[in-house]
Chain A
């Protein structure tokens, strides 16, 4: 779009990669986060003069959030908008007046002037729309989760194996600096062996949107009904289970859980309270909890190691037994003398007291200020990786380069969510079904 000023986003993306150590230790970083390979400053330079032509399918709150983000991306322009709900389409059209509007996404997919589409629609539409868009030769970026059912997930995954088109799902933690750095630290052994994973997401909100008329209830409040939504698991847990597998570098083999409607008994069908235990083959478990009638505990993705704990959402970590494992000043002094080193003894300080209880001191994953997602917004948080993953997708629309691991991670995470729902609904332990395993997944 000609009236669009180049904004700082491109610079910040370069900075993002730079901050992640791409320049100094790029190879090591890219080995562990291969999806960033298509996202380097050099590649950004190559496509500087080009623009990805983007169409939006779904222009509700999340769609509009992404429209704002794409408007700020120099290498993208929004050429089409589609929604079957007129008020949202009108709002979106005001944001990008030059974009052509549609009410039927199939019509929009027929346009040869669109390189890629961004799908922000209810979950049950993700799979059919993604499959249609890929079949129409479009690159596709779809909100999480991947699909409403396991069969749909498998169809999308299979379609992706047979297309040369780019497919992204909004697993934005894969592009969140805190998570990337935190994972590097975990994989370098900072917190020792992973012995447990705890994730939770608490809100105190009914998860409802106001409806202008009752016949729009299922259309607007699609999140509340099983026919269109998989509830808290796909809307919230999918991100967190992805993080757990990313940290463990494998996928849990089974899950048990309980789900209930504890508080919001307003005719909804999906649980407002879920507790699940995912079990890896080595005995490590993911404890997952989500409740939307109390927000005290907020949101956290916590990886527990025998040497420390990583709080990825908060962006800090704690080390176990740091004080007691540290050698005393005099011991260090003796070591130094033994090694003929003249160094200072870290001795002096307010008195050492035998009764002093050990206190954990947090370390920040990133230096300087960084954003922490409090998990309260239904739409999205600032600087949580969403802008970066969108920018990366727009770049891929120009280069045609597939994003490594993104579909596989989204598939694994969504499958775990759906297996969790099955465990809760059937009240039994569910083992990962053989027919849904893909080569990417490691279970042992």
Chain B
């Protein structure tokens, strides 16, 4: 059993448990994961003034900014999720239509001056999706990844069970468990407000700050989709939730009112 842990990465912590791999194999895999996460942290952290994302945020309202190919693919995927969620998933938190992407030179331009990008509801899912690929390539059979509590990736099963079981604590009463979910070869993302952290979820069209005392959990085979959708479901109305369920292959979606 190998355990890897980074306590301050991409604004949170990262923990992984790999079962059934030799130490050298696990070490080498862990090295790859660490360098990937550090690379993404450098690129996507909007609080780091030198990150690629910060350079975009600082300059794209003045001129077109050419981006790396990885950033380009991220921006294109964010645009696609924006469309697929009828504008609810929006990395500008305001109006994604003001983000002009130019395919020819892989550049980005903001047609409105107060636009900036925040990948907070995307980056962990994106990272998990890449890590999932590394794990697959290394033929890891059983593995559990906890990315900042809110994003979980499971491969195979617990050494003494047929899946990985996780419980969702009530953020307003940590002693109360809202649910227990069994995961096997799937990802889970949880979104919600906590007593010390709320007001971070905003509906882009109405600018309404979602302060509901609720928690959303989404499971999906795709860690990125789970990540994108958990925040989206926090702000979606009932009709939109139905449409989201039609548009995406969600394994399960649960809403807990606290």
Contacts and interface: CB of A to CB of B under 8 A. Distances in A.
Interface of A: 322-323, 328-330, 333-334, 337, 340-354, 356-357, 359, 361
Contacts of A323: 174
Contacts of B149: 329, 347-352
Given A329-B146, A346-B167, A350-B194, 16 more contacts: A329-B166, A337-B158, A337-B159, A344-B177, A345-B144, A347-B167, A348-B167, A349-B190, A349-B194, A350-B150, A350-B197, A351-B11, A352-B149, A354-B11, A359-B195, A359-B196
Given A330-B5, A333-B144, A342-B161, A350 B17 contact: no
A334 B150 contact: no
A350 to B, nearest CB: 4
B164 A345 contact: yes
Contacts of A329: 15, 146, 149, 166
Contacts of B180: 344
Interface of B: 1, 3, 5, 7-8, 11-13, 15, 17, 124, 144, 146, 148-152, 158-161, 164-169, 171, 173-174, 177, 180-181, 188, 190-197, 215, 217
B162 to A, nearest CB: 9
B144 A350 contact: no
Nearest to B191: A350
A323 B195 CA distance: 14
Contacts of A356: 194, 196-197
Dominant SS among interface residues on chain A: loop
A342 B162 CA distance: 9
A350 B150 CA distance: 5
Contacts of A340: 159-160
B3 A334 contact: yes
B160 A348 contact: no
A268 B51 CA distance: 71
B119 to A, nearest CB: 13
Nearest to B159: A337
Contacts of B169: 346, 348-349
Given A349-B149, A352-B150, A344 B196 contact: no
A350 B190 contact: yes
A349 B12 CA distance: 13
A343 B148 CA distance: 20
A346 B175 CA distance: 10
17 contacts: A329-B146, A329-B149, A329-B166, A330-B15, A344-B166, A345-B165, A347-B149, A347-B167, A348-B166, A348-B188, A348-B190, A350-B191, A352-B148, A354-B12, A356-B197, A357-B196, A359-B196
Contacts of B12: 351-354
A330 B3 contact: yes
Contacts of B17: 330, 333-334, 337
B15 A328 contact: yes
A211 B169 CA distance: 59
A212 B1 CA distance: 85
A181 to B, nearest CB: 18
A330 B166 CA distance: 10
Nearest to B5: A330
A297 B192 CA distance: 34
A350 B166 contact: no
Nearest to A338: B1
A347 B146 contact: yes
Contacts of A348: 149-150, 152, 166-169, 181, 188, 190, 217
Nearest to B4: A330
B148 A351 contact: yes
Contacts of B217: 348
B1 A351 contact: no
A253 to B, nearest CB: 39
B174 A342 contact: no
A330 B167 contact: no
A342 B158 contact: yes
A350 B167 contact: no
A169 to B, nearest CB: 39
A341 B148 contact: no
A345 B3 CA distance: 15
Nearest to A359: B196
A182 B7 CA distance: 37
A337 B1 contact: yes
A342 B192 contact: no
Nearest to A357: B196
A47 B191 CA distance: 60
B146 A345 contact: yes
Interface centre among A322, A329, A337, A344 (most CB of B within 10 A): A344
Contact of B171 (A341, A343, A349, A354): A349
